[in-house]
Structure 1
Amino acid sequence: MFGLGKRRTKLGKWIDKRGISQSWIREKTGLNKNTVGDLVNDTDRSPTQSTMKKILNALREIDPNVKSDDFWDM
């Protein structure tokens, strides 16, 4: 079955729980497909400051209290 057992980051789990798609994040942030895909699937990938800011600004439309510590150990 497709998608079972896929490895997800904290960000990936957060968007899955809320039914948010990667394409929604791409549209809101202007980030490319590979960047968003890596950040939701690759636990070794950390965003740059500017990428993090774009993602957090988009996610705050859903939850105004979201913060970087919810997703990344910086």
Structure 2
Amino acid sequence: MFGLGKKRSRLGKWIDQRGVTQQWLCKEAGINKDTATRAASSDEYSPNLKTANGIVKALRKIDPNVNLDDFWSM
């Protein structure tokens, strides 16, 4: 079971639905665990552009149609 009842952001829900782990996201996006946790748990979190682009680039390995604005308004 993914999410374990925790509050999830749009990104968190997206990765949970696809069975992606935050550990995988950290490795593929080149981000640390704390950044992945914040991004996956709070819609209030707004990463800097470099981080957001790294996350989206990693997620495009799973779904090439993912866009930055699917998760954040920048």
For the residues of structure 1 that align with 2:43 and 2:53, how far apart are their CA atoms? Answer: 19
Aligned length: 72
Please list every run of 5 or more consecutive structure 1 residues that lacks an aligned counterpart in the other structure. Answer: none
Q: Rg: which structure is higher? A: 1
Q: Over aligned residue pairs, what C-alpha RMSD do you find?
A: 1.3
Q: Deviations over 1:29-60 (max 9, x none)?
A: 12110001000002211010000110011000
**Amino acid across the alignment from 1:62:** I
Find runs of 4+ consecutive structure 1 residues off by over 3 angstroms.
none
Please, what TM-score do these two structures have when normalized by structure 2?
0.91
**Residue number in structure 2 paired with 1:3:** 4
Deviation of 1:7 (Å): 0.8
Q: Which residue of 2 aligns with 1:55?
A: 55
Unaligned 5+ segments in structure 2 are none
What percentage of residue pairs aligned between the two structures are identical? 46
Find the aligned partners of 2:72 and 2:30 in 1 and give their Cα distance: 20
